[in-house]
Amino acid sequence: MRIPIIGGNWKMNKTVKEAVDMVEDLKQRVGNIQDVEIVIFPPFTALKSVGEVVKGTNIGLGAQNMYWEEEGAYTGEISPLMILDIGCRYVILGHSERRQYFKETNEEINKKLKVALSSGITPVVCVGEKIEERRRGKAKKVVEEQIKDCFKEITLEEARRIVIAYEPVWAIGTGETATPEQAEEMHLFIRNLLKDLFGEEISQSLRIQYGGSVKPANIEELMKEKDIDGALVGGASLKADSFAEIIKKTAEISKISSSLRSKNE
C-alpha cells in the first residue's frame, strides 16, 4: 500500500517570522494525522527556524532545490550536505519553474537526483508538459523523455526511494487543474514507464503526486484516482488552514480506500 504524500512548496515566499508562524499553526491543525506523509518546502532562508518547529513532529522538512556538488566554488548554490545538515530529508528536483526560468535540463536533474539518493535525501522529481505540447498531442512523449533522461543510471535500490510529481505546467499557479481523468491517465502512463524501467514491484510501490492548482475543493476527486498518491501544493500550501484541509481530506480518502481494500481481501 502506498502512503499518500502531501508536499507544500512555498516557492519564494515568506520571511522567517511568517514561515515560523505558519508552521506553528499547521502543527496544531495536523499534529495528529497519521495516514499521510506531510512535507513542507520553505525557502532556504527559513529552513533552520522552521526545522526547529517541526523537529520530532509528523511534518517533514525539504529544500526546493540543491546543487550536485558537495562543496566548492559554486557561488550562490547550496549543497546536499548543507540541506542535510540543516535537517532536510527531502528535496524538490526539476520543478517546472526551475526548468523554465533557470533553464534546468533533464541532464542536470539527473546529476542532482544521483547525489540526492547517495546522500540519503528523498527526491521529489517533477515532470510535466507545457500547454502547447499537450495541444500538439505530445504530452506523453515529453513526460516519457523527462522520466527516461532524469532517471538514467539509477539503480533499482535507489529507485525505490524516489517520489515523482506530475505537474502539468499549464496547471501550475493558474487556477486551472487537470481533470481527475486527465491526471490519472498520465499517472498510469508514468507507472507503466516505471514498470519498463524498474519492474512491476517498484512501479507499484513508487508514489506519484499530482501538482497544479490543488486546493481543498479538488483534492478529494484527485485522490480517489487509483494512481494518484498525494499532491505537491503551491499556492494553497501558504496558509495553514487550506493546507491542513488538503492534508485532512487526503487522510480521510486514504482511510476509506484502505478499509475497502481490507474488506476485499
245 contributes a contact to ligand PEP by CB under 6 A? no
Cell of 21: 508562524
Answer for which of 235, 245, 247, 250 binds ligand PEP (CB under 6 A) is: 235
Site string for ligand PEP, 71-100 (x = CB under 6 A): ------------------------------
Instruction: Determine which residue in the list 8, 9, 83, 129 makes contact with ligand PEP, applying CB under 6 A.
Output: 9
Spatial separation of the C-alpha atoms in residues 152 and 111, rounded to whole Å: 9
Residue 136, number of CB atoms within 10 A of its CB:
12
- Contact (CB, 8 A) for 61 and 47: yes
Catalytic residue among 37, 108, 167, 245: 167
Q: Which of 61, 236 has the CB closer to ligand PEP?
A: 236
- Active site residue: 37, 95, 129, 245, which one? 95
Instruction: For residue 167, indicate whether it is catalytic.
Output: yes
Decide if residue 213 touches ligand PEP (CB under 6 A). yes
CA distance 238 to 231: 14
Binding footprint of ligand PEP, residue count (CB under 6 A): 13
What is the rounded CA–CA span in Å between residue 93 and residue 115?
11
Helices 16-30 and 240-264, axial angle in degrees (round to 10): 30
Q: What are phi and psi of 237, to 5 degrees?
A: -95, -5
Nearest distance, CB of residue 174 and ligand PEP, angstroms? 7
Looking at the Cβ atoms of 80 and 235, the one nearer to ligand PEP is: 235
Binding range to ligand PEP, per CB under 6 A, among 12-20, 52-60, 109-117, 210-218: 210-218
**Residue 247 binds to ligand PEP (criterion: CB under 6 A):** no
95 part of the active site: yes
CB of 175 to ligand PEP, least distance (A): 8
CB 113 within 8 A of CB 78: no
User: Which residues, at least 6 apart from 39, have a Cβ–Cβ distance to it below 8 Å?
Assistant: 5, 6, 7, 8, 59, 60, 61, 62, 90, 124
Residue placing its CB nearer to ligand PEP in the complex, 159 or 214: 214
Task: Please report, as residue ranges, which positions from 131 to 190 form the binding site for ligand PEP (by CB under 6 A).
Answer: 167, 172-173
CA distances from 186 to 65, 78, 91, 140, 211 (A): 24, 32, 23, 7, 12
Binding site for ligand PEP (CB under 6 A): 9, 167, 172-173, 211-214, 232-236
